[in-house]
Amino acid sequence: MKKTGSILASIALAASLLAGCSANGGKQDADGAIQIGLAAPISGTQAQYGEAFKNGAELAAKQVNDAGGIDGKKVKIVIQDDKGDPHEAVNVANKFVTDKDILAVVGHFNSSATLATAPIYNKNKIVEISPSSSAPAVTNAGEYTFRVITTDAFQAAYLADWSKELGYRKVALIYEQSDFGLGLLDVYKNAAPKNNIEIVAAESYNPGDKDFSTVLTKIKEKQPDAIFIGGFYNEAALIAQQAQKLGLKTDYIGVDSLYSEALLELGGDAVENMKLIGFFYPGGDNEEATKFAEAYQTAYNSKPDTYAAYAYVATSVVIEAIKHNGADREKIKEYLKTLHDYKGPTGVLSFDENGDVVTTPERLTIRNGAFELYQ
């Protein structure tokens, strides 16, 4: 998702020169397939998210192909592994833009990878639509850069407002030591005073950490009303479990990156009553979310997480663009610029003038070991 790359802009700009200006877009490959690129961390420490991307994108293609394709032509997802690394992402972007048959790219996962590759996609006039890059800097990445996830700034500010409604007066922050986590920290801290919230602690951790006992011991002394977790579901589950063992009784609140069956499985009763916002929630009022979850379960014998849903939506809107405007890179961009009130598994979305998504989250909580709408 989400790690910004304040570094790498110069790397991307230099690498983009190697790519050269590609043709404005091929129509299909020798087999007649319409090709969409997928850039994701298929290997490495973030491979679980890459798998979700792959499954979501391929399900979108399968559904349109089962319905006859686009003008009788099949949609093909062409996958490149960027390993979640901005340097490798630049290599992937160069491969995609110089292949005239790739009409658009779904990806990348990390904001750092998206920011590193955006100059390449923009120079070569091919849409990159990220399912998960939520760093605020992506807003200004260029006219060919889109995303179907809201910014970290939006989510953190929204959660600060909700925290006030929940009556939290003292909040501790535990955040991932990355641009993603730091962005959430900064926005929530800045929004806290106007919501009469005191930040009693702000503790960081490194991605992949498993021992949070020292951090939680410090926080326990502050007796917070809630802990805001600025990270992913694996660490959130461990934080809640270890807090429970330390006798730290508090509420938890977090962003959409916590939404996963893995949080429930790993966290058990320690994550009961955790509150989070989500844009993908099957079983609620959004019929598209429920239909997607059922189709995903049938296809992969597992429940989809947020990132599978985001990848499905990103791929689906590219497919819609091709259906309406044709198999042409520039026309795909033109269609997305005018997309309004598209109904998908992550809600009703439109794009603003910067390619940022405009949508509204659901308020969720965990009760009896399952996600449900917060009432």
Task: Say whether pLDDT at 268 is over 80.
Answer: yes
- Listed in sequence order, the residues at least 6 apart from 335 whose beta carbon sits closer than 8 Å to its beta carbon are 320, 321, 324, 325
Residues 212 and 342 in one domain: no
- Per-chain mean pLDDT for the chain: 92
4 domain-assigned? no
Query: pLDDT digits over 143-181, tens only?
Result: 999 999 999 999 999 999 999 999 999 999 999 998 788
- Cα gap 18→64, rounded to integer Å: 35
- Cα gap 119→122, rounded to integer Å: 5
Residues 39 and 120 in one domain: yes
Residues 41 and 76 in one domain: yes
364 domain-assigned? no
CB 344 within 8 A of CB 291: no
Residues 302 and 260 in one domain: no
Q: Tokens at residue 328, please?
A: 């042409």
The whole-number average pLDDT for the span 223-247 is 97
Domain boundary pick from 278, 309, 337: 278
Question: Dihedral of the CA atoms 261, 83, 42, 259 (nearest 10)?
Answer: 10
Residues 118 and 78 in one domain: yes
Query: pLDDT digits over 196-222, tens only?
Result: 999 999 999 998 899 999 999 999 999
Of the ranges 24-38, 89-103, 147-161, 340-354, which one carries the lowest mean pLDDT score? 24-38
Task: Say whether pLDDT at 19 is over 60.
Answer: no
Residues 247 and 167 in one domain: yes
Domains in the chain: how many in total?
Answer: 2
Residues 190 and 294 in one domain: no
Pairing of strands 128-130, 370-373: unpaired
The whole-number average pLDDT for the span 339-361 is 97
- Cα gap 141→148, rounded to integer Å: 14
| pLDDT band, very low/low/confident/very high, at 250 (cuts 50, 70, 90) | very high
341 domain-assigned? yes
Query: pLDDT digits over 77-94, tens only?
Result: 999 999 999 999 999 999
Residues 142 and 157 in one domain: no
Decide which of 7 and 65 is more confident: 65
> How confident is the model at residue 175, as a pLDDT?
97
Residues 22 and 119 in one domain: yes
> How confident is the model at residue 10, as a pLDDT?
47
- Listed in sequence order, the residues at least 6 apart from 35 whose beta carbon sits closer than 8 Å to its beta carbon are 26, 28, 29, 75, 76, 77, 78, 99, 101, 102, 103
> Above pLDDT 90, what percent of the chain?
87
Range of the domain at 165: 153-278
CATH number of the domain at 236, please.
3.40.50.2300
366 domain-assigned? no
Domain boundary pick from 246, 278, 310: 278
Task: Say whether pLDDT at 276 is over 50.
Answer: yes
Alpha helix segments (H runs only) across 76-212 = 86-97, 111-123, 152-165, 179-191
The whole-number average pLDDT for the span 33-61 is 96
- Listed in sequence order, the residues at least 6 apart from 51 whose beta carbon sits closer than 8 Å to its beta carbon are 42
CB 367 within 8 A of CB 164: no
> Above pLDDT 70, what percent of the chain?
92
236 domain-assigned? yes
117 domain-assigned? yes
> How confident is the model at residue 6, as a pLDDT?
44
| pLDDT band, very low/low/confident/very high, at 29 (cuts 50, 70, 90) | low
Domain boundary pick from 250, 278, 306: 278
374 domain-assigned? no
Residues 253 and 223 in one domain: yes
Task: Say whether pLDDT at 9 is over 70.
Answer: no
63 domain-assigned? yes
Tell me whether residue 360 is exposed, middle or buried, using C-beta atoms within 10 angstroms of its C-beta: 0 to 12, 13 to 18, 19 or more: exposed
Residues 219 and 87 in one domain: no
> How confident is the model at residue 12, as a pLDDT?
47
Task: Say whether pLDDT at 21 is over 50.
Answer: no
Residues 272 and 197 in one domain: yes
